[in-house]
Structure 1
Amino acid sequence: MTTSVQGKTLIVAAFDFGTTYSGYAFSFRDNPDKIQTNQIWYAGGGASRLVSLKTPTSVLLNPEGGFDKFGFEAEDKYAILAADNEHHGWRLFRRFKMVLHKNKYLTKDVTVEDFCGKRMTAFPLFVISIKYLREHLLKAVATQKIGIKETDITYVLTVPAIWDDNAKRFMRDAAVAADIDPARLKLALEPECASIWCETLDVDIKGAVAIAGSQYMVVDLGGGTADISVHERKSDGTLKEIHKASCGPWGGIFVDKNYMVMLGRLYGEKALIDLRKTEMSDYFDITRDFEHKKRSFHAENTNPVFVRLSVSLRDLVDKYFKQTLEERIAALHIQENSIKPIGKDKLKIVSTVIQSWFKGPIDLLIKHINSLLAEAKMERVQTIILVGGFGESPYVQERMRNEIAGVRLIVPPDAGLAVLKGALRFGHNPAIVSSRIVKYTYGISGHTTFSEKKHQGKKKVMLNGEWKVRDCFNVFVRVNEEVGVDHQVTIQSTPYSEISLTPVYRTTQQNPDFTTDPGCELLGTIELENSMDIPFENQYIEDTFLFGDTELLTKNTFTGKEAFLTFECFK
């Protein structure tokens, strides 16, 4: 739902808050197609300086717990401090977004580990990250046009389509805590944004996604997860979702993990821990070098891959082990010549070993996609759009082309920026998405007339001289139901106090009977402020629930106020 405040702003700015990398982009309403991405981010220095259009989702806190640096700057400063043994008390946090993935018991107290394994509440890190991106954005906007105020900006924050209602609310609350006006904030679903952006590309791609009736799957493959949605282009040009979103932990960080496990076997966990403590810049150079090799690796590649390590790591091995590295490789029964040291700072690794690090997550991704395509409702889906940073991997693309039959795979240019750019178009025109698939059955608890044939006596209560049944699940929308973005359900009541509290329940069951049934849960409570100017008994209130937006919203038609769910887990 686009508020009147959002419609009057001059700029739309989008934040792509990723597991491994984050960035922003913006465009003016008078020229929405002129998209300006964030300025280039730099890592390291000298000839090895790395240039990127996104920066790592990394936060550095000083010994007092205050914010110091974000992104590449956070990692590089921490490395410099460690080199001088001055990093004690400083805390570096990386890849903490994964804490929100399928966390059924998510609360604002959820914690994450820093680089040294010490835990901290995650919520402030999300606030710090969004605040940093916002301030960086404001400086960039100020260079474009004189007289622009912060209140002239509508913000779009991208979130995975598969995320639960409470995870979306977690991100909204973090953005509001980062000084973003909630009236000018819109959440956007990442696969939808990618789909929207593909419509703007060359004729070949547009032909697959922009023709009325075309159905296609969008796979947003990032650092942490694969987020999958299926869309159909309607005759009016809008999108409708035809299958509820799904996902899995099949992103690029799992390849990184396999690589680090291999290094741990070769060099020893103690050596890696010491490297992180004493030669932090070498550690980051190792991980960044592998990131480059990972993104360029081909499934058909038969040539060995050379990865750059550091002399300091080899020295640590000599410190902890009486064996040479070559002797250690032999003792681990690693296939002969599959991994071979080159000098003191490189490893030669045969391609089959590299492929084995990709295999697990990509096998699961392909299996899941094939199972989706086998469903009857998906028979017209003939195209897959692959986006996201890990989606740029040639290995991933080749595996998908070879092992997913009957569909065409399209990887748009700058696939890693497709979500960010599509989020801007969505911010300018949220009505471009016309319907979505509901992931749960939602409703409220109520009473119905007691029936001896249908109901158990234990829920029987006397109300106003009539036998009723309590805890009945009054359904508003059902799981897998397609609802328009403006789909509304209205309940009428007379208030009894200044604040009206309406508990909202959900379940994955299609036809729940009671809110106490197994699998039914109290999602949260809608809290609305009633008018104090008119006696309660004279007020006739309509509370309207809106289910087709990217977030669950409600509106009180007597006061005209909108409200969000107060999630049970956040109380």
Structure 2
Amino acid sequence: MASNAQGKTLIVAAFDFGTTYSGYAFSFRDDPNKIQTNQNWYAGGGASRLVSLKTPTSVLLNSEGGFDKFGFEAEDKYATLAEDDEHHGWRLFRRFKMVLHSNKHLTKDVTVDDFCGEQMTAFPLFVMSIKYLREHLLTAVTTQKIGIEETDILYVLTIPAIWEDNAKRFMRDAAIAAGIDPNRLKLALEPECASIWCETLGMDVKGAVAFQGSQYMVVDLGGGTADISVHERKPDGTLKEIHKASGGPWGGIYVDENYMKMWKELFGEKALNDLRENEMNDYFDITREFEHKKRSFDTDKTKQIVVRISASLRDLSEKYSSESLEERIASLKVREHAITTRGKDKLKIDTTIVLSWFKRPIDLLIQHLKTLLAEPKIKSVRTVILVGGFGESPYVQERIRNEIAGVRLIVPADAGLVVLKGAVRFGHNPTIVSSRIIKYTYGTSVNVTFNEKKHPEERKVWINGEWQVPNYFKVYARVNTQVRVDKQMTRKSCPYGGKSLLSVYRTTNENPEYTTEDGCELLGEIELENSMDIPFEKQICEDTFMFGDTELLVKTKNTVTGKEAFMTFECFK
């Protein structure tokens, strides 16, 4: 959709809007591989101050409901307000991106909970987040080069390849509402971005992905999801997708949930809730400390992890329970000495406990990878590239190496930034991906002339002086077929009235006959006004599906009047 702006682009800027962390990167057209990221995300203060290449996907709203802060700054300010009991009416939102995952009934009215469990419409939060990242980026770019205009920038927004069409449109609409020109905006699929960046790396990585005919799997393991694509390098150097994107909700936040469950068992739910409400700095310290330990956890080098207990949490626990911490540890269903105290301010947790937190999401991931690699069309794939923040975990890497036989696992340096950097390269050269696999059968609902040899008698209806069959599924493209990124399918027809209404359907069925079958879903509709001054039989409407890009585009054009209209998603009406 951003092709018109490509020739004018001086800078490509990419946003990685993640479940847990977000960031941006950019490079100039005259040196596209010199990719710069923001180095100045700070958390906390004093001796405990942290520096990060990404910042949490957290939004703070003020007491009037307006945007105040994003990222570490949002969390730290909310915690400071709470310390002085001044946070009432202020609202903090964290990790809200997962509302878009596998949400077939997504609408712009979908809600998320704030830090205290109160609901709010999610769409404005996405808009505020993208607007903040855009403004932060503009400051960074304009301080480097004088005379840069925003119209010189092509924006790339990364999205999971496993997302539904409606979630992609949700993100595009949020970016446009944040002030980004739709003609200078491209959505990029995260595993593809990883693949694109890997060909720039050292020979150990490049040698596995950059030669003609190489086939490999990319696993993007982030905070919320595992997003998996399988690619092949074509003779012209471009990438083609050889298996439709797949994955699931097996990211790092599910390990976090298991970790926090232990804290509830040890200190009590009331104490932890009180800590969240009144000692937020201490609460955020718990989650931030674990994020580091989760990513560095290695069973070969780690026999136990040590975590800090704030004095405030210990006091709250004693306030709500007469049991000592040692007594609560003893009551847990874990082996003796698996969790022990070290003084008053530390807990020592055995590896076996930590492994239990990782077990379910990683079990599901590995089972899915085994199933995929056993499929006939990708049996020859023997290289897996693991990227994403959670992909940095040595434990996750170790389990994949140990449990998936005959596969070479490659983990690029700075795995958490690979998608972001690849997105910048993709923006400079979107044609680097030449074809993709379609995840659904797409088509329209039409009336066809009744044919007694083809159609059941009960489906015929008398329309316009003849027997017709309504709700016939007119297929434009079938599931699991490969299409070029510039692939268009156009069919012509004459309108029947002053308005043409085109209903777009999809299904996972390869050969649907009727749009009323189980599994057929109304994706959206297009309404186009026709001329009342020209006979309808002399007007021609062209219905066009544009496949193969990161987003599906469907339009109808009256070639006589020149009017055209685009599909409106049913869920966003």
**Normalising by structure 2, what TM-score?**
0.96
Q: Please show how residues 48-87 of structure 1 align to structure 2 within 5 Å.
A: 48-87=48-87
Question: 1:255-311, CA deviations, whole angstroms, 9 ceiling, x for partnerless residues?
Answer: 111010001001000000000111100001111111111111103245221011211
Query: Which residue in the other structure is 2:353 paired with?
Result: 353
1:568 and 2:536 matched:
no
Instruction: State the shift of 1:39 in Å.
Output: 3.5
**Is 324-333 or 311-320 further displaced after alignment?**
324-333
Instruction: State the shift of 1:463 in Å.
Output: 4.4
Instruction: State the shift of 1:72 in Å.
Output: 0.2
Query: Which residue in the other structure is 1:319 paired with?
Result: 319
Instruction: State the shift of 1:493 in Å.
Output: 2.9
Asked if 2 retains the 8 angstrom alpha-carbon contact of 1:525 and 1:568, the reply is yes
Taking the aligned partners of 2:528 and 2:204, their CA distance within structure 1 comes to: 50
Distance 1:137 1:221, change over 3 A: same
2:137 aligned counterpart, secondary structure: helix
Query: Which residue in the other structure is 1:196 paired with?
Result: 196
Question: 1:166-185, CA deviations, whole angstroms, 9 ceiling, x for partnerless residues?
Answer: 00000011111101111111
2:292 aligned counterpart, secondary structure: helix
Distance 1:208 1:498, change over 3 A: farther
1:118 and 2:112 matched:
no
Asked if 1 retains the 8 angstrom alpha-carbon contact of 2:154 and 2:185, the reply is yes
Query: Which residue in the other structure is 2:457 paired with?
Result: 457
Matched AA of 1:569 = C
Distance 1:116 1:372, change over 3 A: same
Taking the aligned partners of 1:178 and 1:326, their CA distance within structure 2 comes to: 51
Instruction: State the shift of 1:461 in Å.
Output: 2.4
1:505 and 2:501 matched:
no
Query: Which residue in the other structure is 1:410 paired with?
Result: 410
Taking the aligned partners of 1:333 and 1:35, their CA distance within structure 2 comes to: 49
Taking the aligned partners of 2:381 and 2:59, their CA distance within structure 1 comes to: 41
Question: 1:495-520, CA deviations, whole angstroms, 9 ceiling, x for partnerless residues?
Answer: 56776432100111110010111111
Distance 1:497 1:422, change over 3 A: farther
1:59 aligned counterpart, secondary structure: strand
Asked if 1 retains the 8 angstrom alpha-carbon contact of 2:479 and 2:508, the reply is yes
Taking the aligned partners of 2:533 and 2:238, their CA distance within structure 1 comes to: 43
Taking the aligned partners of 2:398 and 2:433, their CA distance within structure 1 comes to: 31
Distance 1:258 1:516, change over 3 A: same
Taking the aligned partners of 1:76 and 1:2, their CA distance within structure 2 comes to: 37
Taking the aligned partners of 1:158 and 1:564, their CA distance within structure 2 comes to: 23
Taking the aligned partners of 2:469 and 2:432, their CA distance within structure 1 comes to: 43
Distance 1:454 1:535, change over 3 A: closer
Taking the aligned partners of 1:131 and 1:416, their CA distance within structure 2 comes to: 22
Taking the aligned partners of 1:82 and 1:402, their CA distance within structure 2 comes to: 46
Distance 1:305 1:148, change over 3 A: same
Please tell me the root mean square deviation across aligned C-alpha atoms, in Å.
1.8
Taking the aligned partners of 1:81 and 1:422, their CA distance within structure 2 comes to: 39
Matched AA of 1:567 = F
Q: Which runs of 5+ in 2 are unaligned?
A: none
Query: Which residue in the other structure is 1:218 paired with?
Result: 218
Query: Which residue in the other structure is 2:267 paired with?
Result: 267
Asked if 1 retains the 8 angstrom alpha-carbon contact of 2:2 and 2:182, the reply is no
**Is 330-339 or 102-111 further displaced after alignment?**
330-339
Asked if 2 retains the 8 angstrom alpha-carbon contact of 1:526 and 1:565, the reply is yes
2:35 aligned counterpart, secondary structure: strand
Query: Which residue in the other structure is 2:96 paired with?
Result: 96
Instruction: State the shift of 1:344 in Å.
Output: 2.1
Asked if 1 retains the 8 angstrom alpha-carbon contact of 2:39 and 2:52, the reply is no
Query: Which residue in the other structure is 1:257 paired with?
Result: 257
Taking the aligned partners of 1:468 and 1:503, their CA distance within structure 2 comes to: 18
Q: Please show how residues 403-442 of structure 1 align to structure 2 within 5 Å.
A: 403-442=403-442
Instruction: State the shift of 1:529 in Å.
Output: 6.4
Distance 1:534 1:201, change over 3 A: farther
Asked if 1 retains the 8 angstrom alpha-carbon contact of 2:555 and 2:567, the reply is no
Query: Which residue in the other structure is 2:474 paired with?
Result: 474
Taking the aligned partners of 1:354 and 1:564, their CA distance within structure 2 comes to: 51
1:295 and 2:283 matched:
no
Taking the aligned partners of 1:532 and 1:311, their CA distance within structure 2 comes to: 78
1:490 aligned counterpart, secondary structure: strand
Matched AA of 1:24 = Y
Aligned pair count?
571
Distance 1:561 1:540, change over 3 A: closer
Asked if 2 retains the 8 angstrom alpha-carbon contact of 1:196 and 1:422, the reply is yes
Instruction: State the shift of 1:465 in Å.
Output: 4.3
